Structure 1
Amino acid sequence: MEHQRKLFNDEHQQLGQLLDRMDQLPEDELGSKWPKSLAELIDVMAAELERQGLASDQARRMAGKQAGAVAHFLGGRVYYLPTGDKLKDALRDDMIWAEFNGRNMDELSSKFRLSQPHLYAILRQQRALHRARQQPDLFGPFNAQ
């Protein structure tokens, strides 16, 4: 495993040197070299980086480097990229937990377009998750054998 990690790091180091050359090339020249699917990936990544507060030009450069790394390691093969629905649901559920105050079920039901029974199930699950974070199972390590 350590040997594989070292090989990956060496390869990534070499790739990183190539990707860093992108900083010296004009934006329009770079853009003409990307296949359509990678250009779309760059647009998505750059938009999120801008939303996170990076300047537009810096976001595009960073997104280009990230897309280049993804293309290098995953490119040329059929690769299923999940939509992330489970992650979005988990984040939504955490947001519901954070916004719940004990008296705002109607508001949460409207905001998240969920029935109250569904909200109660989410809150029950979130309560258990948050309790486990705060108060770990005392017998967990012994039962894991």
Structure 2
Amino acid sequence: MTTKKTGMDALRSELLDDVAAHAKHILADHGVGTDVADQCGVALAEFLADHWGGQLINFPMNFLYKLAQRDLVIYDEFNGRNHAVLASKYNMSVRGIYKLVARVKKRIVAEKQPDLFPD
């Protein structure tokens, strides 16, 4: 029997479902098999529920997380034509390298470029 969640229960469940799905997506983009990526996503959501459940947490909006050192190294080694070489070197998919380069570039530009229309 499945019960429909409402109100805050639905939001909490949606948050953990979203975390699990996003982790699965990121891992799959980095070449991890779908089954393993799904298991990791669920494990991450369970970790958050077990360790942070019951806490009132407010996530800041537009917070740029510190880039992982490995991502910066890969970005520094990227020359515009070596996606496949980097994918092989760092055990990632070529698609994962494309996404990593775009993500790092976006964050670097966001940190260096002033906002033209501040709130």
**Structure showing greater relative contact order (alpha-carbon pairs closer than 8 Å, 6 or more residues apart):** 2
Which TM-score band applies after superposition, normalised by the shorter structure?
0.3 to 0.5
Report which of the two has the higher share of helix: 1
Q: Which has the larger radius of gyration?
A: 1
